[in-house]
Amino acid sequence: MGTFDFLLQGLLVAVQPMNLIYALIGVTLGTAVGVLPGIGPALTVALLLPVTYKLDPGGSLIMFAGIYYGGMYGGSTTSILLNTPGESSSIVTALEGNKMARAGRGGPALATAAIGSFVAGLIATLALAFIAPYIVKLALVFGPREYFALMVLAFVTVSSAFGDSTLRGLTSLFIGLTLACIGIDQLTGQTRLSFGVPDLLDGIEVTTLAVAMFAIGETLYIAAQGDRGPDKVEAVKGSVWMSAMDWARSWKPWLRGTAIGFPIGAMPAGGAEIGTFLSYATEKRLTKHPEEFGNGAIEGVAGPEAANNASAAGTLVPLLTLGLPTTATAAIMLAGFQQYGLQPGPLLFATNPQLVWGLIASLLIANFMLLVLNLPLIGLWVKLLTIPKPWLYAGILLFATLGTIGANPSVFELGMLLAFGLLGYVMRVFGYPIAPVVVGLILGPLAEQQLRRALSISQGDITVLFTSPIAAVLLVIAALALIVPLILRARGRGQVLAQLAASED
Amino acid sequence: MNKGNHPSVETRRPDRAALIIAVVLAVIAGLIFWDVSRLTGLAGYSQIGPTTVPYVIACCLVGLAVWTAIEAVRGDFGHEREHQESGPVLWIVGGLAAQMLLLNTLGFSIATGILFAMTARGFGKRMLWLTVPVGIAFSFVVWLIFAKLLQLSLPAGPLERLFF
- Which pLDDT score is estimated for B149? 78
CB pair distance less than 8 Å for B123 and A188: no
B149 chain-A contacts, CB cut-off 8 A:
none
User: What chain B residue is nearest to A218 in terms of C-alpha separation?
Assistant: B89
- Please state, in angstroms and rounded to a whole number, the distance separating the CA atoms of residues A114 and A250: 12
Q: For residue B119, tell me if it sits in a domain.
A: yes
Return the SS3 of A150: helix
Does residue B94 sit in the same domain as residue B45? Answer: no
How far from the centroid of its chain's Cα atoms is residue A270's Cα? 9
Among residues 362-391 of chain A, which lie with CB inside 8 Å of chain B? 389-391
Q: Is the dihedral of CA A496, A318, A423, B28 positive or negative?
A: negative
- Please state, in angstroms and rounded to a whole number, the distance separating the CA atoms of residues A15 and A9: 10
User: What chain A residue is nearest to B111 in terms of C-alpha separation?
Assistant: A398
Q: For residue B38, is pLDDT > 90?
A: no
Closest CA relative to residue A436, chosen from A69, A165, A142: A165
Does residue B57 sit in the same domain as residue B99? Answer: no
Q: Residue A398 is nearest to which of B71, B83, B139, comparing CB atoms?
A: B139
B102 chain-A contacts, CB cut-off 8 A:
none
- Please state, in angstroms and rounded to a whole number, the distance separating the CA atoms of residues A207 and A43: 9
A423 chain-B contacts, CB cut-off 8 A:
none
Contacts (Cβ under 8 Å, ≥6 apart) of B110: B102, B136, B139, B157, B158, B159
Helices (H) and strands (E) in chain A, counts: 23, 2
Q: For residue B80, tell me if it sits in a domain.
A: no
- For A346-389, give the secondary structure using H, E and C: HHHHHHCHHHHHHHHHHHHHHHHHHHHHHCCCHHHHHHHCCCCH
- Please state, in angstroms and rounded to a whole number, the distance separating the CA atoms of residues B38 and B17: 33
Q: Which long-range contacts (CB under 8 A, 24 or more apart) does A492-497 make?
A: A494/A164, A497/A161, A497/A162, A497/A163, A497/A164
- Which pLDDT score is estimated for A39? 74
Q: Which uninterrupted H or E stretch holds B160?
A: helix B158-163
- Please state, in angstroms and rounded to a whole number, the distance separating the CA atoms of residues A504 and A323: 20
- For A393-448, give the secondary structure using H, E and C: HHHHHHHHHHHHHHHCCCHHHHHHHHHHHHHHHHHHHCCCCCHHHHHHHHHHHHHH
Return the SS3 of A36: coil
Does residue B33 sit in the same domain as residue B7? Answer: yes
Confidence of residue B93 (pLDDT cuts 50, 70, 90): very high
Shortest Cα distance, chain A CAs vs residue B8, angstroms: 22
Name A192's bridge partners. A183
DSSP annotation of A505 reads -
- Please state, in angstroms and rounded to a whole number, the distance separating the CA atoms of residues A30 and A260: 23
- Please state, in angstroms and rounded to a whole number, the distance separating the CA atoms of residues A275 and A279: 6
- Which pLDDT score is estimated for A484? 83
- Please state, in angstroms and rounded to a whole number, the distance separating the CA atoms of residues A439 and A330: 9
Shortest Cα distance, chain A CAs vs residue B2, angstroms: 17
Does residue B108 sit in the same domain as residue B140? Answer: yes
Tell whether A14 is within 8 A of chain B (Cβ).
no
Note whether A386 and A230 are within 8 A (CB): no
A422 chain-B contacts, CB cut-off 8 A:
93
Angle at A370 between CA A365 and CA A372, to 5 degrees: 105
Q: Is the dihedral of CA A401, A402, A403, A408 positive or negative?
A: positive
Q: Which long-range contacts (CB under 8 A, 24 or more apart) does A191-198 make?
A: A192/B35, A192/B36, A192/B39, A192/B50, A192/B54, A193/B31, A193/B32, A193/B35, A193/B36, A193/B54, A195/B35, A197/A412
Confidence of residue B4 (pLDDT cuts 50, 70, 90): very low
A408 chain-B contacts, CB cut-off 8 A:
none
What residues does each domain of chain A span?
A: 3-499
Q: Of B43, B74, B105, which one is at a domain's C-terminal end?
A: B74
- Please state, in angstroms and rounded to a whole number, the distance separating the CA atoms of residues A277 and A263: 14
Q: Residue A192 is nearest to which of B48, B50, B135, comparing CB atoms?
A: B50
Note whether A80 and A64 are within 8 A (CB): no
Note whether A160 and A482 are within 8 A (CB): yes
Note whether B39 and A146 are within 8 A (CB): no
Q: Which long-range contacts (CB under 8 A, 24 or more apart) does A55-59 make?
A: A56/A18, A57/A340, A57/A342, A57/A355, A58/A13, A58/A19, A58/A354, A58/A355, A58/A358, A58/A359, A59/A18, A59/A19, A59/A22
Q: Residue B120 is nearest to which of A391, A414, A451, comparing CB atoms?
A: A391
Q: Which uninterrupted H or E stretch holds A314?
A: helix A299-322
Closest CA relative to residue A312, chosen from A451, A455, A481, A128: A128
| Confidence check on the interface: ipTM exceeds 0.85, yes or no | yes
Does residue B68 sit in the same domain as residue B135? Answer: no
CB pair distance less than 8 Å for B53 and A181: yes
Q: For residue B79, tell me if it sits in a domain.
A: no
Q: For residue B81, tell me if it sits in a domain.
A: no
- Which pLDDT score is estimated for B30? 92
Residue range(s) defining the domain that contains residue B20: 2-74
Does residue B70 sit in the same domain as residue B93? Answer: no
Hey, how many other C-beta atoms are within 10 angstroms of the C-beta on A1?
A: 9
pLDDT (tens place) for every residue of chain A, 505 residues total: 577 888 888 888 888 888 888 899 889 988 888 888 767 788 888 877 777 777 788 888 888 888 888 888 887 888 788 766 656 667 778 778 888 888 878 888 888 888 888 999 899 999 988 888 888 888 888 888 888 998 898 888 888 766 668 888 899 999 999 999 888 887 777 788 878 788 888 888 888 898 898 889 888 988 888 766 556 667 666 666 777 888 888 888 889 889 888 888 887 655 557 778 888 888 888 877 777 777 778 888 888 888 888 888 888 888 888 888 888 888 888 888 888 888 888 888 888 888 888 888 888 888 889 888 888 787 788 788 778 888 888 988 888 888 888 878 888 889 999 999 999 999 988 888 888 898 899 888 889 888 888 888 887 777 888 888 888 988 998 888 888 888 877 776 555 555 554 444 4
Q: Residue A393 is nearest to which of B21, B35, B123, comparing CB atoms?
A: B123
| CA torsion angle B34 B36 B42 B47 (round to 10) | -110
- Please state, in angstroms and rounded to a whole number, the distance separating the CA atoms of residues A391 and B136: 13
User: What chain A residue is nearest to B146 in terms of C-alpha separation?
Assistant: A51
Does residue B155 sit in the same domain as residue B94? Answer: yes
Best B52, B53, B61, B146 residue to mutate vs chain A (most A CBs within 10 Å): B53
Model pTM score: 0.86
A389 chain-B contacts, CB cut-off 8 A:
123-124
By CB atoms closer than 10 A (0-12, 13-18, 19+), residue A467 is exposed
Does residue B99 sit in the same domain as residue B67? Answer: no
Q: How many domains are there within chain B?
A: 2
Does residue B65 sit in the same domain as residue B93? Answer: no
CB pair distance less than 8 Å for A50 and B152: yes
Q: For the packed helices A57-82 and A91-102, what is the interaxial angle rounded to 10 degrees?
A: 50
For A91, A178, A198, B99, the CA distances from A414, given in Å and listed in that order, are: 33, 20, 15, 9
